[in-house]
Structure 1
């Protein structure tokens, strides 16, 4: 007897010595039924246990045999009952073994025999009141002994409506070979001859019982046939079923002959009542003569199983089509997250090849060196998620940005040209705009940034990174973003990982990137999964999000996890120059205040006012962002019929804005109002703007905004009821006439 078994015996003796304890030890047998197994025979006093009509009538004293393993308490004991009347009851396996624990992890070694006996007494109480299927005790399907020589069989296809008849019936599963070992059921058939159109598939007959099978299935072919007959499925019907299956599978000579049995769940169990459990039997001849060959069945039908990631943010991915641009340190793990979460299809785009240096942080192998990343990643993910359609594209991501038929675009390239192309195509294209997630990593991999544009949002990655930078310039807790992305002064040392033309990149390990990629992606999925909720009354729905995570490291001990949200800008088009103008709603508020002040100073209400526009213009994306509207520059004049600007001091005046926002907000143009009249540029307005762009050496362009509207529209805007009319126009140096 081992020390652990001796401990178990002593604990049972102490339990039996407790006053009024229902436990008595009859004897301890050191004749081991298996090597290292000790038997202790217990008598449980059940004379005071209440019995209900639906329960099992207990004897005054029930006998149980506790089997203790050599390494107790680290392995839970088994408990057997010699009384056959418990056979077929929930949690009674093979007629005599009582299963008290759902899994080995449910066993609490610290509770020892005290916890074990308490569990056994609970089982007896539940048996007496007929509630063995209650949640207080473990619940699992009937048990079949599986053989390592066969299967497993994975069942994903849900039972169709026509197969939900409560009577005893049979049908067929449509099964494919995943590889030499794994089988997968991908559909249901009423006629096995349908298989003739699919020579790469084979049919598996299913007998659906009309009542629960009990808690154990037969352990040999003869007992299986007898059990089916007992349920009303005759031997003749079984023979016809197997013959029809063999004939149907003749198109696939290598198809095995498998018989599946489905059983409803017992009453009181929170599980589907029709084919709640599936088991399968591999047969090579008449099942009565066949050797035991139960196949391990993994039942993944939605009605019979709960995904381990259920109710988590990644659940949004299930069934979606996703385009991943870049299969590197961020894109590759995100693609794997998508595959594991059940994406319907993944398109993987990367022009690069696997190099030895990237193995420190990207999920590739040494044997992959020299091969295209996209192709290697696709092959790897096929082994992870064979149900996901994977398309590798070994080409430039710039050529793949027009992809309207996907549910999500992930830009993990950290490539400015790709971001600019995405930005331009998003506003110029007429196609559907799917959500766009852009991600990047800081210089030392202790900072991660993601931006998310929802469908219909006014901007993409360039837009949102800029918006995040502006927010960081106004929030001291986000200074890390400015210092990492736009260091001042700029870094003088560039991290070049390999000699030659490899891209300057960032320093980071696989653990750094795993933490950043998962945190950012989970945050973005959380947003995507919650966007269906209506915003509070009086609030606009955010359409653009910025996610910042700072991973604690030795270099930066403090962590950070922030989510910022913004509503859409007001969008106008300059069709003359093919630019999109995006005006922050705060600009309208500032201009309205100035217009109200001008109207108050002039009884006619016709005095114009104006000022400078601060923002940014992106020549590649062809977007102009208007972030702020400033008042009249010094020594400018306004009257009822004209507005004159002194622009000589503007650049110096707004230099601080440019430095503070690391170049994101600077002077980009002028604005003025046309009270009670049309928002349109006069010849004097055009001359003024050409003077601005020609008078500032190095100024690439200037933007003009004119706020106006007829009398009714103007008064409605001043009253806060609606937006004014808005004229937008870009001007370029040396431009004499409007561009056609």
Structure 2
């Protein structure tokens, strides 16, 4: 290369650090002064690293005593340098991309710290080699084992969502555009759907999948895959369908080293490519493959991010919720995101603009019944959620809402509504339901209460609440919670609009969402339990004299 002035400041600093490290006798790296800039502007350094002291264990990567590595340093420090070997000995190993690039950072956004400079990078490279030799890598933990590299463009444009298991053989699936950037893949034809060609491969693609149909076919040939001759035929057949006039999708199913369901990659073939496929000319190999992101939600491969949390108690649950206000509206959303399969809502009150300060609604909801607006919001959150609205006259729905519920929740802060709810609980008993009340304090909305009646307890919530209230009010250390059982003073409340406006507590959306979130996690732990009592808790924003969280269990409680 022509000289130091061709380098960016970051590349020059990295090179200087590498030279300094290479000059130390105790360091295992040596810098070869041959270097260049590649077509992307990366500074490419060649280093040799002494691995003779590393221990190779069964299942580990066999290393030479000295490994040569090309280090590709980007023009700025926003992305970490890449480490690339010049041989094929690591092909197919965990955390190896395109057969030769070492995947040093599983999540570069969190793991790459440019302030550490070259020292941080080479320490990471050393740790990678040591872990590889010791067999500490797992196919389960690697992002791109089945396909040795990120398909070009996969981080851009559309996302294809995959919820159903893919077939074992080549097949035609269907892509339905859900939004501008989302396409849902279905196993059955749907009006307006674009064809999706699914092709299962017999082996992994450690060198990646390429950017053209020709590249992909070459990878099939490299794997001696019996489907090599099938791919062009199924693409031609799909392109000849009238629905393919605007292009088509290709799904590639690839065996995963961890076993189980195939890894799936998705590509888009545009209208010009589809036309070329129809004509089946020799230029088919040059057709670009525009790789798309996959949101793979198949149960066989996906693990919920909230697995093992307290809120996971709502997974698959049926919930009947009375009250869709400051606490109930947030609780319903959190339960929906936790995987509830049915939520029945009861609240006929209308939404006004003042409520938007702290309740889970939008400007476009003003004037609508709360249960109606919240139902629409919940349906938009989860396709797998059945949302119903309960009216006093809908007795058939009431029977189902109560007799088959896992949770029956009062979030009303309304005495008459609480009495009505209790009447329905008694009229339509559910032996497996946890009956609960969730509430915030009547002054500032920074304290929370969750009262639960266990599955085998026959007392009413009002009876449990009365017993707990006596205990709390008689305890001076719980004075911060006395307001749940004592009438609020006018000084503790506000009148939101002048004139005949109902006084209400002071509270922000942030605080009410936080109280509802804690109530959701707390209540989720009680699914199916016989435990009866009240959880009391305070937000960090509560007054300095707030009591710590407490569990109050009234006398004569059946518990597990």
TM range (shorter): 0.7 to 0.9
Name the CA shift for 1:474/1:91 in 2 (closer, same or farther; >3 Å).
same
User: For structure 2, which runs of at least 5 residues remain unmatched after alignment?
Assistant: 1-6, 278-283
Residue 564 of structure 1 pairs with residue 556 of structure 2: no
Deviation track 1:154-175 (CA, whole Å, cap 9, x = no partner) reads: 122346xxx6x7xxx4355565
TM superposition shift of 1:106: 1.9
Structure 1 SS opposite 2:549: strand
Paired position in structure 1 for 2:252: 261
Deviation track 1:424-457 (CA, whole Å, cap 9, x = no partner) reads: 3323445556222211221221322121223342
TM superposition shift of 1:500: 5.8
Q: Pick the structure with greater CA Rg.
A: 1
Quick one: distance in 2 between partners of 1:356 and 1:464?
Answer: 36
Residue 390 of structure 1 pairs with residue 382 of structure 2: no
Matches within 5 A, 1:317-356: 317-356=314-353
Paired position in structure 2 for 1:211: 203
Structure 1 SS opposite 2:368: coil
Higher relative contact order (CA 8 A, sep 6+): 2
TM superposition shift of 1:521: 1.7
Structure 2 SS opposite 1:224: helix
Deviation track 1:225-247 (CA, whole Å, cap 9, x = no partner) reads: 23234442335433454466568
Quick one: distance in 1 between partners of 2:556 and 2:138?
Answer: 52
Quick one: distance in 2 between partners of 1:274 and 1:255?
Answer: 34
Paired position in structure 2 for 1:413: 412
Paired position in structure 2 for 1:222: 214
Matches within 5 A, 1:682-701: none
Residue 294 of structure 1 pairs with residue 286 of structure 2: no
TM superposition shift of 1:492: 7.5
Residue 94 of structure 1 pairs with residue 80 of structure 2: no
Paired position in structure 2 for 1:462: 462
Name the CA shift for 1:492/1:97 in 2 (closer, same or farther; >3 Å).
closer
Paired position in structure 2 for 1:438: 437
Matches within 5 A, 1:448-597: 448-487=448-487, 491=490, 495-499=494-498, 502-528=501-527, 531=529, 542-553=530-541, 555-566=543-554
Quick one: distance in 2 between partners of 1:133 and 1:435?
Answer: 44
Quick one: distance in 2 between partners of 1:428 and 1:396?
Answer: 13
Quick one: distance in 2 between partners of 1:67 and 1:238?
Answer: 35
TM superposition shift of 1:218: 2.2
TM superposition shift of 1:139: 4.9
Quick one: distance in 2 between partners of 1:275 and 1:43?
Answer: 39
TM superposition shift of 1:316: 1.6
Deviation track 1:297-316 (CA, whole Å, cap 9, x = no partner) reads: 12222332322211101112
TM superposition shift of 1:319: 1.9
Quick one: distance in 2 between partners of 1:465 and 1:47?
Answer: 70
Deviation track 1:568-624 (CA, whole Å, cap 9, x = no partner) reads: 669xxxxxxxxxxxxxxxxxxxxxxxxxxxxxxxxxxxxxxxxxxxxxxxxxxxxxx
Aligned length: 532
Question: 1:204 touches 1:257 (CA, 8 Å); kept in 2?
Answer: yes
Quick one: distance in 2 between partners of 1:550 and 1:48?
Answer: 55
Name the CA shift for 1:501/1:216 in 2 (closer, same or farther; >3 Å).
farther
Deviation track 1:126-176 (CA, whole Å, cap 9, x = no partner) reads: 5556x37348985544332235775311122346xxx6x7xxx43555654
Quick one: distance in 2 between partners of 1:139 and 1:9?
Answer: 30
Matches within 5 A, 1:33-432: 33-35=39-41, 37-46=42-51, 58-59=63-64, 61-72=66-77, 75-104=79-108, 105-109=110-114, 111-127=116-132, 131=135, 133-134=137-138, 139-141=143-145, 142=147, 143-147=150-154, 151-158=158-165, 169-171=169-171, 173=173, 175-185=175-185, 195=188, 199=191, 204-214=196-206, 216-229=208-221, 230-242=223-235, 257-266=248-257, 271=258, 273-283=259-269, 284-285=273-274, 286=277, 288-392=285-389, 403-404=401-402, 405-430=404-429
Deviation track 1:505-538 (CA, whole Å, cap 9, x = no partner) reads: 2111112212211112211112227x3xxxxxxx
TM superposition shift of 1:24: 0.8
TM superposition shift of 1:419: 0.9
- Cα RMSD after superposing both structures: 3.6
Quick one: distance in 1 between partners of 2:525 and 2:393?
Answer: 26
Deviation track 1:47-98 (CA, whole Å, cap 9, x = no partner) reads: 56566796665555433222234444x6422222333554444333234432
Quick one: distance in 1 between partners of 2:336 and 2:505?
Answer: 27
TM superposition shift of 1:372: 3.1
Quick one: distance in 2 between partners of 1:83 and 1:353?
Answer: 69
Question: 1:208 touches 1:275 (CA, 8 Å); kept in 2?
Answer: no
Structure 2 SS opposite 1:528: coil
Question: 2:238 touches 2:244 (CA, 8 Å); kept in 1?
Answer: no
TM superposition shift of 1:199: 4.1
Quick one: distance in 1 between partners of 2:471 and 2:382?
Answer: 40
Name the CA shift for 1:560/1:457 in 2 (closer, same or farther; >3 Å).
same
Quick one: distance in 1 between partners of 2:309 and 2:58?
Answer: 43
Name the CA shift for 1:504/1:50 in 2 (closer, same or farther; >3 Å).
closer
TM-score norm. by structure 2 comes to 0.82
Deviation track 1:157-208 (CA, whole Å, cap 9, x = no partner) reads: 346xxx6x7xxx435556544334312345x5xxxxxx35x54767634333
Question: 1:133 touches 1:139 (CA, 8 Å); kept in 2?
Answer: no
Question: 2:435 touches 2:461 (CA, 8 Å); kept in 1?
Answer: yes
Name whichever of 211-220 and 442-451 sits farther off.
Answer: 211-220
Name the CA shift for 1:136/1:451 in 2 (closer, same or farther; >3 Å).
closer
Quick one: distance in 2 between partners of 1:44 and 1:493?
Answer: 69
Structure 1 SS opposite 2:423: helix
Question: 1:458 touches 1:568 (CA, 8 Å); kept in 2?
Answer: no
Structure 2 SS opposite 1:527: coil
Quick one: distance in 2 between partners of 1:437 and 1:290?
Answer: 60
TM superposition shift of 1:120: 1.8
TM superposition shift of 1:32: 6.2
Paired position in structure 2 for 1:13: 19
Matches within 5 A, 1:607-618: none
Quick one: distance in 2 between partners of 1:410 and 1:255?
Answer: 50
Question: 2:536 touches 2:550 (CA, 8 Å); kept in 1?
Answer: yes
Quick one: distance in 1 between partners of 2:84 and 2:495?
Answer: 67
Question: 1:153 touches 1:183 (CA, 8 Å); kept in 2?
Answer: yes
Question: 1:350 touches 1:396 (CA, 8 Å); kept in 2?
Answer: no
Quick one: distance in 2 between partners of 1:332 and 1:255?
Answer: 42
User: For structure 1, which runs of at least 5 residues remain unmatched after alignment?
Assistant: 189-194, 532-541, 571-740
TM superposition shift of 1:499: 4.3
TM-score norm. by structure 1 comes to 0.64
Name the CA shift for 1:493/1:299 in 2 (closer, same or farther; >3 Å).
closer
Name the CA shift for 1:340/1:179 in 2 (closer, same or farther; >3 Å).
same
Question: 2:98 touches 2:206 (CA, 8 Å); kept in 1?
Answer: no
